[in-house]
Amino acid sequence: MARSALLNVMTQAAMKAGRSLVRDFGEVQNLQVSVKGPADFVSNADTRSEEIVFKELSRVRPDWGFLMEERGAIEGRDPQHRWIVDPLDGTTNFLHGIPNFAVSIALERDGQIVAGVVFNPAQDELFVAEKGGGAFVNDRRIRVSARTRLPEALFGTGAPFLGRGDHAGFLYEFREVISETAGIRRMGAASLDLAYVAAGRFDGFWEKALKPWDVAAGSILVREAGGFVTDMAGGKFDHVVGDIACGNEQLHKALVGLIGDATRKRAAAARAGAGTAAAAK
């Protein structure tokens, strides 16, 4: 595939950072005896990766701003352009020696995502997309799944964990989706989950309250692969808000319907519980 100059810059930055992560990942097996501890080790790996991306992109476009997981927002002299970067998506996977993590870089122009790169260095898979140019993995064109029936469909999601997210709401959603489909996978790196939807490996994906750097690059991958990307109610997707549901046209619509069913059932349960509590007084 022929890449634009900007996409080449993004690709080179992601791959350079990815090589750094792979070297650190090779040390994961020694973390149990590390004096510093695994959390510090992974934090340092994350910081090194982000520094590489920051330097590579700043060298080429010094006036552009950043939104980065570790450094936060960095204003640029050019208000139209901003890089959105996750230097290590899938930190928990990385910490546990699971080779499912990625460097994610997106380019935002006037509030819209126009290019994205997601690189899994452990598996040497590079997903790229640019607005109007299609989506690719390792220079091979990819498309979303052609499946249309829920019983044949495999969905990805992200589950809330200790101290994070709406656990009760997620369980309602999980029950609705798992009861109608071929299965659900929780892989632990949203950028790669979205890349898998773009490549037709997952038939769809949903998750609440993700950060912009989790979804920015992946969302354009799905769109350029022919998929639909909305919020979880089927409305306009906003990468800053981070609620997302995606898939091909038929299964995206079905997924949004299942999530809506889960929301209604939860609300009905809450009303029933409130009524029972009131009657007991």
3-class SS letters over the chain: CCCCHHHHHHHHHHHHHHHHHHHHHCCHHHHHHCCCCHHHHHHHHHHHHHHHHHHHHHHHCCCEEEEECCCEEECCCEEEEEEEEEEEECHHHHHCCCCCCEEEEEEEECCEEEEEEEEECCCCEEEEEECCCEEEECCEECCCCCCCCHHHCEEEECCCCCCCCCHHHHHHHHHHHHCCCCEEECCCCHHHHHHHHHCCCCCEEEECCCCHHHHHHHHHHHHHCCCEEECCCCCECCCCCCCEEEECHHHHHHHHHHHHHHHHHHHHHHHHHHHHHHHHC
Amino acid letter, 26: G
Q: What residue ranges do the domains of the chain occupy?
A: 5-141, 150-277
Q: Can 5-141 and 150-277 be said to share one CATH topology?
A: no
Residues of the chain with pLDDT under 50: 32-36
The pLDDT assigned to 39 comes to 55
The pLDDT assigned to 210 comes to 96
The pLDDT assigned to 45 comes to 87
In angstroms, how far is the first alpha carbon of the chain from the final one? 69
The pLDDT assigned to 27 comes to 78
The pLDDT assigned to 279 comes to 66
* Fold of domain 150-277: D-Maltodextrin-Binding Protein; domain 2 (3.40.190)
Assign domain 5-141 to its CATH architecture.
Answer: 2-Layer Sandwich (3.30)
The pLDDT assigned to 108 comes to 98
